Amino acid sequence: MTTATLLYFLGASIALTLAPGPDNIFVMTQGIARGRRPAIITALGMCSGISVHTTAAAFGISALFYSSALAFNLVKYAGAAYLLYLAFRTLQDRSAVRLATADDRPAAALFRRGFIMNVLNPKVALFFLAFLPQFVTPAAGHVPLQMLLLGLIFMVQAIVIFCLIGYFAGSIGSYILARPRVAKHFDWLTAGVFASLGIRLALAER
């Protein structure tokens, strides 16, 4: 791959990551509802899931996955069920966005939540399967390594952008959490985001 190709890929990746979508909307909501730390750790978990999808795309696993309607639907409905479960838990724990201690959730739990959300979204797997090969140079050889490099570049820029979104959304969240009358409504907002993402995923087609 040439430097020009890599720069073009980086530009396209940044544009796609900045475009309004479920992932950055979710990170923004987490920042507003829970603060900077949970949003950033969740974003890191989501971005780490990219490594799974790019590895699968590089070695042909995603292509096999795409060819199986059963596998696609199993992962899709598992992801949708997990998101709806998170919506239920958010409403069950009504103190999640009203207490200052909400920011003290274990980092591993926040990271795991973001990771699972990303890995159980089959649309992400199909996105990388379609996106990465456009920037690969078959004549240069080592196609899987080229795709892994592209996946690494995409993951790094996504980490930077999502963490910035989480940081600035967390600044807004700190202002809101200091005002209980406003903050008490954000558990419903968070649950609504989880539920809408779950429904959207359940209705997704290959």
What letter represents residue 48's amino acid? S
Q: How confident is the model at residue 176 (pLDDT cuts 50, 70, 90)?
A: low
Are the C-beta atoms of 155 and 53 separated by less than 8 Å? no
Q: What is the pLDDT of residues 22-46, one digit of tens each?
A: 788 888 888 887 788 889 999 999 9
Could you list the beta-strand ranges (E) of the chain.
none
Q: What is the pLDDT of residues 54-78, one digit of tens each?
A: 998 888 776 665 667 776 777 778 8
Torsion of CA 5, 128, 22, 51, to 10 degrees: -100
| Residue 106: per-residue pLDDT | 82
> Three-state DSSP class for 147?
helix
What letter represents residue 26's amino acid? F
Higher pLDDT, 37 or 139: 37
By CB atoms closer than 10 A (0-12, 13-18, 19+), residue 12 is middle
What letter represents residue 153's amino acid? I
Span 189-203, mean pLDDT?
78
Higher pLDDT, 127 or 152: 152
Domain segments of the chain: what residues? 23-202
What letter represents residue 136's amino acid? V
| Residue 159: per-residue pLDDT | 96
Span 115-139, mean pLDDT?
84
Give the H or E element holding residue 158. Answer: helix 143-177
Based on C-alpha coordinates, what's the Rg of the chain? Answer: 18
